[in-house]
Amino acid sequence: MIATMRSRAARAALAALAAALLACNEGLHPITCSGVCGTVTFSGAAPESTQAVYVVAYHTFPRSRDSLFNFRPPLPSLHALPLGGLPTFYDIPVETGRYEWVLAVWVKQGFNLSNADSTLREAGFYRNPADTSQPGVVTVAGGTEPADSINFVVDFGHMHPPCHYYNPPCP
């Protein structure tokens, strides 16, 4: 009886170990995009007053000052782009969803929440391939289906303040 139980215990232990080993290939693996990613190409020279340039995404196009800071990813997750040079890969970790506007935001030195209208600029955005005058909508379907190849140009010579896109726009 005891021998049988011992044998069962040994078999159970081996089975548990084998099952565990079989399930061992779920570690981290290379991914080229964790949300929205692509390549930005630079045009013109960054102004001397530049503090940083970030890529952000809006679920809904910001039509007023109230929605200006509803972008993703949150502020602490932003990483600055280089200020010119060769085309650069970017990747912004954002959650699953539909994004109406993916753009580069130029930030002037001295920026704070109260002077955002005068210290932030749109410096380029992803465009609709069918109508390049319009922003392209980007859909992130999930961890296995990020939105890659969201490529666009950062043009330091043609930047627009946030109110340029408000409804009504600034004078």
Nearest CB to another protein, comparing residues 7 and 60 = 7
Confirm if 53 and 123 have CB atoms less than 8 A apart.
Answer: yes
Nearest CB to another protein, comparing residues 13 and 170 = 13
**CA neighbor of 57 nearest in space, from 115, 140, 121:** 140
Phi, psi of 165 (to 5 degrees): -105, 0
- Residues touching another protein, count (CB under 8 A): 45
For 29, 32, 53, 74, 133, the CA distances from 26, given in Å and listed in that order, are 8, 17, 36, 28, 43
Nearest CB to another protein, comparing residues 43 and 96 = 96
Interface residues for another protein in 59-118 (CB under 8 A)?
Answer: 73-81, 88-91, 93-95, 112-113
Q: Using CB under 8 A, list all residues that contact another protein.
A: 2, 5-7, 9-10, 13, 16-17, 20-21, 23-35, 37, 73-81, 88-91, 93-95, 112-113, 143, 146
